[in-house]
Structures are given as C-alpha cells and as structure tokens.
Structure 1
Amino acid sequence: MRTWRRTGTGTQVRICSNLETYECQLLASMVESISELLVERGDSAPSDELSALTGIATGHSRAPEDVTLGRLLPDFHRPDQEDELTAASVASDLNGGLRSVNEPHIIDAKLDAARTVLDTLPPGGGDIRLTEAEADRWLSALTDVRLALGAMLGIDDEPMRLPPDHPQAAHRDVYDWLSVVQGLLVEALMADEWTQSDWDVPE
C-alpha cells in the first residue's frame, strides 16, 4: 500500500491512499466477518417489553462468551477499578445494566464504521479518498479488526514475534500490516496540511 496522505483544505480535505487488490479483498473479508458476528450478537438479544413500548433498544445484559466478541464488547467496569465495588455481584449488576442500555448503540456504531470501509474500498484495488469523518470510521473499523485478530492470536500488551514456520505467522503478519495501516492513517489525520508526504511504504 501507499502511505495515507492529506490533500485539500477546509471542507475539501481528503485522506487518500492506494491499496492493492489483495489488500482490499483481505480487509473486506475481515470487516465482513466481524460485521456478521456483531449482527448475530445484536439479533440474539432477548426481547424486552419496556423496549417494545418505548422503542428504546436494549441488548444483552451478559458479556459474550465468544473470545472475539469479548474483545469487541468488553465489560464497562471491573471490580478492581474502584475500591468501593469489591463485591463481584455488585460489579456484575452494574455491568449488566450498562451493557443492556449501551451495547445496541455500540454495535450500531461499529457496524456503521464497517459499512464505511466496505463502501469506500475499491473492490479491484486502487485509490481511496476519504473525508475526515470517513477516515475516523476507518480507524474504528481497523481497531475492531485488530482486536478480533489479536484475540485469535492471543496477543496482549506484550510484543510477540513468531518464527516464519509458525502456523499463525501469516496471521501475525496481517496483524502487523493492519497496525501500519492504522498508524499511518492516524498520522495523516493529525498532520498539518502543509506537511504532505507521498512515499511508498517499503514491503
């Protein structure tokens, strides 16, 4: 891929790059897979009479058992975050209430970000031109893809290098590539419009 670059001024600012065909296909496949998980999670939420009466969406009160969804939809509060909430039952009730109210909106926001990526990806590869709002949604979607892939690889805060013959080495390469794409996109969004660059990222 080419690095992200910022062009234009004011309302005409665009964040631009270029992706190869296989890069677009890989990214689209991962985003679609995460979208399917999120849609299934949202559709499986228990029915609620109050929600039906008020039209206010409610979701699950329990955290996902699936490891990937657990990364995408973590608990809002952990008992160790506040000394006063030391009882597991209190923390569970708090998380359940917060999750039920907020999870549907979080899922909608994640799906919106995913749709933006899929709508702006050139299927056969090529140029990408994003508004700043679209670029922000790209960042959100890339974060979700990295979280999902990191869950599969068991990646935590510690750096991890795999030997080339490791069965998950290719997935780790994809994770590192996503990190580069996301990092360059952040730089382009934060860059002053007079400090443009247009160089190829070395492979």
Structure 2
Amino acid sequence: MRKWSRKNSLGGLKLRTEMDAREAGVLRSLIGAVTGLLNERAQSAPDDELAALTGMRTGNAEPPEDPRLRRLLPDFHRSEPGSPDADRAGLNSALRGLHEPEIIDSKLAAGSVVLDTLPTDGGKIVLTPEQADAWLAALTDVRLALGTVLGVDADTPDHLDPDDPRGPHLDVYHWLTWMQDSLLQALAP
C-alpha cells in the first residue's frame, strides 16, 4: 500500500492511495469480520413491545459477552472501584438499550463505505473527506477488535518472537495503524 496523499481538484479535496489485491483482501476480510460481529449483536436484541408501538428501536441491555464486542461497545459509565456510584449497572443497561442500535448502525455504515470504495482486486482508491472519516472509524473498529484478540496494551512489543503465532497478526495490526496514521496526516491541512 502506498502512503495516502491529498489532492485538491475542481470537485474538492480527494484522498488517494493504491493497494494491491492481497492487501485489499485482508482489509475486506477484517472489515467483514467486524461487521459480522456487529450484525449478530444487532440481531440478538430482544423484541420490545414499546419499541413496536413507538417505532423506537431498542438494543440489548446487557453488555456483550464477546471481548471484541465489549471493546467495540463499552459501557457508557465507568466508576472508580469503591466510589459511591460504583453500581451503575442499571444506568449502563438503560443507556445501552437506548443507544446501542444507533452506535451499531454508525459502525456498520463506516464499514460499508470502506467495502464500497475498496477495489476487490486492489488498485487505486480515491476518497472524499467524508469517506475518509468513515475509513478512519472503520479502521479504528478493526484495530480495537484485533488488538483485543492479540492482547495489545502499552507493554506489547513492536515485534513478537518468531515462534509466537500472534506475530503475523500483530504485523497486520501495525499495518492498520500505519494506514490510519497516513490517512490522518493526509486529511490534516
């Protein structure tokens, strides 16, 4: 993949790069995996009679069990252990039930923009600033999910032992990080 570049044209600002077929396939697969998780979560929301009457969608009140989804759909409020408001499960459930469908929709829309603008067999990619924002959001979601699986934290080394089976996946994580950083730099004036 080439570094993202910015080009001002008569049609406005465009962000450009080029990706080979293998890179495009990896990115499509990762976006597809994350959107698949999000779709499953959305479809698992319980039926709500009030939602059926009002047309207002509700989501799951309980946090996801899958650690990747817990990272993508965190609690709305986190208290310090031992603080007087440490038990906020009811508040989190209510907020999750109200807002999770919209959050999932937003994440799915960002993934859809990537899939729509990424050539299947690789090639040139040209984005508007709005599409670039969607790419940034989708790349963040993929990095969060992959980072959760790999256990990435502040102490994770840049390279793992050659015998560590996580090594190639960490390389993909770093590639996604580089891609996201390159796009952010190209967006900056």
Matched position secondary structure for 2:15: strand
Give the letter for the 1:126 counterpart.
Answer: G
The answer to which of 1-10 and 92-101 deviates more is 1-10
User: How far apart in 1 are the matches of 2:70 and 2:30?
Assistant: 17
User: How far apart in 2 are the matches of 1:70 and 1:170?
Assistant: 24
Residues 1:168 and 2:166 aligned together: yes
Give the letter for the 1:51 counterpart.
Answer: A
Compute the RMSD of aligned alpha carbons.
1.6
Residues 1:92 and 2:68 aligned together: no
Residues 1:60 and 2:60 aligned together: yes
Percent sequence identity is 47
Residue matched to 1:106: 103
Aligned runs of 1:1-203 on 2, under 5 Å?
1-9=1-9, 12-80=12-80, 83-86=83-86, 88=87, 91-160=88-157, 161-190=159-188, 192=189
Flag as ranges the 4+ runs of structure 1 deviating above 4 A.
Answer: 81-84
User: How far apart in 2 are the matches of 1:124 and 1:156?
Assistant: 33
TM-score normalised by length of structure 2? 0.95
User: How far apart in 2 are the matches of 1:55 and 1:179?
Assistant: 39
Q: Structure 1 stretches of 5 or more lacking a match?
A: 193-203
User: How far apart in 2 are the matches of 1:146 and 1:80?
Assistant: 26
Matched position secondary structure for 2:126: strand
User: How far apart in 1 are the matches of 2:11 and 2:44?
Assistant: 40
TM-score normalised by length of structure 1? 0.89
User: How far apart in 2 are the matches of 1:118 and 1:18?
Assistant: 15
Deviation at 1:10, TM superposition (A): 7.4
User: How far apart in 1 are the matches of 2:155 and 2:10?
Assistant: 40
User: How far apart in 2 are the matches of 1:165 and 1:14?
Assistant: 42
User: How far apart in 1 are the matches of 2:143 and 2:15?
Assistant: 21
Q: Structure 2 stretches of 5 or more lacking a match?
A: none
